[in-house]
């Protein structure tokens, strides 16, 4: 027998539907993540990952909880391009399940955040201002004195060292066929994208894995991609570890048939028998052979 004692709070509370708390397909982490988000003040822009961090939900549990919420329609995401060619992810959390079309209409009403960095006050330099020199040559190669080489110089050796660079170039060349949104990748970016794709192949991913990752991250609501090369570069920047493949199941006989052998005689259907030694025919075929002989 169970007894419950409950006092309704007078402040700092949020009303939730019993359908959320008792949802049959949401784990406790998913319910905690959803209710935490719904309890935030109006206008809060806390991401799901930040909420999981505050709720002490681990990375694996967070990924599983987020996937459940998306499958049930409580969470929707879309990638949009903002000023400067950058990409941002919009997340929508709802107290009741929404379809993809309903979520897209709600997200379209939200203004896109474009944070501006306020410049710090400048301090005057000591001494009189001088103009930069306009003639002469450097005494030695400036690359010897810098630890931050240009991107093309940092990865110049990686192209030669990767044994999968040719496969990576073919992978990048097939991107326009993958989606119409990727038809206008600048030719000058293909080598850079091939170097990034080669890192995925070197880590054990297949070209199909890379294509599926890019296809999955493309906008699905018809949003135009103005800088497809920059988007692909962003998607290939981090290489996730490849999940180990599961071993293929081994077909074994049931314990009742262990040690049985198929008879080599003439039968309408396969005939199994348990040999005593190394015989290849069942007792019926063996007796028939003896009688005819």
Distance CA 286, CA 290 (A): 6
Which pLDDT belongs to residue 167? 87
Q: Cα-Cα-Cα-Cα dihedral of 281, 287, 289, 291, to 10°?
A: 180
Expressed in percent and rounded to 5, the helix, strand and coil fractions of the chain are: 45, 5, 50
Mark the ranges of the chain whose per-residue pLDDT is less than 50. Answer: 114-121, 142-160
Which pLDDT belongs to residue 131? 60
All residues at 6 or more sequence positions from 196 whose CB lies less than 8 Å from its CB, including other chains: 233, 236, 237
Which pLDDT belongs to residue 28? 93
**pTM of model > 0.75:** no
Which pLDDT belongs to residue 75? 93
Which pLDDT belongs to residue 146? 45
Which pLDDT belongs to residue 248? 57
Which pLDDT belongs to residue 83? 75
Which pLDDT belongs to residue 73? 93
Distance CA 35, CA 199 (A): 39
At 201-233, the pLDDT tens digits run 888 888 888 888 888 888 776 678 888 888 899
At 156-173, the pLDDT tens digits run 444 345 778 888 888 888
């Amino acid at each position: 027998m169970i007894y419950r004692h409950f006092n309704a709070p007078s402040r700092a509370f949020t009303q939730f539907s019993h359908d959320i708390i008792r949802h049959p397909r949401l784990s406790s982490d998913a319910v905690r993540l959803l209710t935490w988000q719904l309890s935030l003040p109006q206008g809060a822009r806390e991401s799901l990952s930040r909420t999981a961090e505050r709720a002490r939900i681990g990375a694996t549990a967070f990924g599983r909880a987020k996937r459940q919420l998306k499958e049930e329609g409580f969470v929707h995401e879309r990638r949009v391009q903002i000023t400067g060619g950058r990409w941002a992810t919009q997340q929508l959390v709802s107290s009741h399940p929404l379809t993809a079309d309903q979520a897209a209409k709600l997200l379209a009403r939200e203004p896109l955040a474009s944070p501006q960095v306020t410049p710090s006050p400048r301090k005057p330099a000591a001494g009189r201002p001088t103009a930069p020199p306009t003639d002469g040559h450097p005494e030695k190669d400036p690359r010897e004195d810098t630890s931050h080489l240009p991107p093309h110089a940092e990865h110049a050796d990686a192209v030669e060292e990767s044994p999968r660079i040719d496969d990576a170039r073919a992978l990048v060349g097939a991107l326009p066929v993958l989606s119409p949104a990727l038809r206008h990748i600048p030719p000058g970016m293909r080598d850079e994208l091939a170097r990034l794709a080669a890192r995925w192949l070197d880590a054990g991913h297949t070209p199909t894995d890379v294509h599926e990752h890019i296809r999955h991250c493309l906008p699905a609501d018809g949003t135009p991609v103005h800088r497809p090369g920059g988007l692909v570069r962003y998607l290939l920047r981090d290489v996730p570890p490849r999940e180990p493949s599961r071993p293929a199941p081994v077909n074994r006989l049931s314990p009742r048939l262990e040690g049985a052998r198929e008879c080599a005689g003439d039968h309408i259907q396969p005939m199994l028998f348990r040999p005593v030694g190394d015989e290849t025919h069942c007792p019926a075929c063996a007796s028939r052979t003896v009688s005819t002989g």
